[in-house]
Structure 1
Amino acid sequence: MTAVDERLSGITVFVHAAEAEGFAEAAGRLGITRSAVSKSIARLEQRLGVRLFQRTTRSQSLTSDGQIYYERCRMALAELEDAEAALDQGRREPSGRLRVSVPTLFGRHCVAPVLWDMADKHPQLDIEISFSDSVVDLVNEGFDLAVRVGLLPDSPNLVARPLGKQRMAIWAAPAYLDRRGRPLSVHDLAKHVGIVYGRPGFNAPWGLKSNDTTTEVTVHSRLKMDDLQAIADAAIAGLGLAWLPCWMVHRHVQAGELERVLTTDFVSGHPIHAVWPKTRHLPSKMRALVDLLVEQIPMFLDTRS
């Protein structure tokens, strides 16, 4: 490694350590050991003649000199990434590493098949997929793109591309409806039990939409879970009504295990977006992925609604 290469490598490690607020987290993102991060930072501090981090047994935080240096290094690396992306636009074959964050169930059912197709079409790509319902910080956690379900907060640092709508409806097992009766109106739901999504101290209401008006309904429930698949399983077992995405229950409807409650007039939807950090030049690997998501995700939603 040349002196220039070592300097750039040290700066990259330093920026990751600053953004991760710790050497161990930076090591995980970079795929190296914590010791390697610590030694790289120590060499950089020795070369600069300043201390960049305050170190304790539990954490590392930037000094005032470290904060100044971080701001300049971050801008310099951003310029280098833009330069690489500008050159990359002329390449035909996407390559390199692609890190994607997706919601757990929607990602498993609808996004993962698209990424498998992406990997098959572009053998020079290495794709990493993280399944989590947490909203990740794309820049600080090192993700290239995230797929998100629901309304997006305004952010000047992110770009979003619509992928479609997740339609939600009430579902129940035919045996349950034969036993308890089929609701014909929203008011009839009061006579039924629900299997609800919730966590301690919080129950997610059902947002029934009719004539462009959304009514939030809270049903009597004896079962509360924070996992949609478990809720679907309980509904199939005949334990009550469930508010679930249409794409998720499609195969159960086809198998006769679930049926829709109320009419399609009461189906509501949540927007789905691909989101990525704003950049002046979109790398070819990102452009190819976004195009594929825009093309294929609506097919999953249409065939599963």
Structure 2
Amino acid sequence: MSLPDSPQALRHHCCLQFTPLGKESWTLSGAGGSLTVPLPGMVMINDVRIIRAMTLAGEGVALLPEYLCRAECAAGRLQRLLPDWYAKADPVHLVYPRQRFMPPKLRAFIDLAGDVLGRWLE
């Protein structure tokens, strides 16, 4: 089977879907706007590491965060498909109780989390 050359062509591939997203489609955005692609040939998996492993094994096409597959793409083990299209990133929230004075340990953790997440997303 040939590589998909458009978002619509994804419906002809086994698409590996992250279960918590709970969707039977992918919404992709490009220069022409957004497009929701139904995925009839879909496998639902609840661990992105398994999705990455299955993709590396040639079991399907996946929508993976760049930080999770950067090394594999650089080494040529994975290939980015549809480079003119992208999916909306899920936000990351750090939630803590509002306090008049923030404990130094909490401030240190917030700073560390920001630094680590910032490096992942570079």
TM-score normalised to the size of structure 1? 0.36
Give the conservation status (yes or no) of the 8 Å contact 1:232–1:242: yes
Residue 188 (1) aligns with residue 35 (2): no
> CA-to-partner distance for each residue in 1:63-109, whole Å, 9 max, x for gaps?
xxxxxxxxxxxxxxxxxxxxxxxxxxxxxxxxxxxxxxxxxxxxxxx
Q: Tell me how many residue pairs correspond in the alignment.
A: 121
Give the conservation status (yes or no) of the 8 Å contact 2:72–2:78: yes
Give unmatched runs, 5+ long, in structure 1: 1-179
CA 265–194 in structure 1, closer or farther in 2 if over 3 Å, else same: closer
Alignment of 1:13-162 (within 5 A): none
Alpha-carbon offset, residue 217 of structure 1: 2.3
Alpha-carbon offset, residue 195 of structure 1: 1.9
Give unmatched runs, 5+ long, in structure 2: none
Runs of 4+ in 1 over 4 A off after TM superposition: none
Partner of residue 259 from structure 1, selected from 79, 85, 88: 79
Residue 268 (1) aligns with residue 88 (2): yes
CA 249–285 in structure 1, closer or farther in 2 if over 3 Å, else same: same
Stretch of structure 1 that moved more, 277-286 or 293-302: 293-302
Give the conservation status (yes or no) of the 8 Å contact 1:208–1:267: yes
Identity %: 26
Higher helix share: 1
Secondary structure in 2 aligned to 1:277? coil
Higher strand share: 1
TM-score normalised to the size of structure 2? 0.81
CA–CA distance in structure 1, aligned partners of residues 4 and 83 of structure 2? 10
CA–CA distance in structure 2, aligned partners of residues 287 and 250 of structure 1? 30
CA 214–274 in structure 1, closer or farther in 2 if over 3 Å, else same: farther
CA–CA distance in structure 2, aligned partners of residues 285 and 222 of structure 1? 44
Please name the residue that 2:116 is paired with.
Answer: 296
> CA-to-partner distance for each residue in 1:189-220, whole Å, 9 max, x for gaps?
22222122337xx5453221224844332323
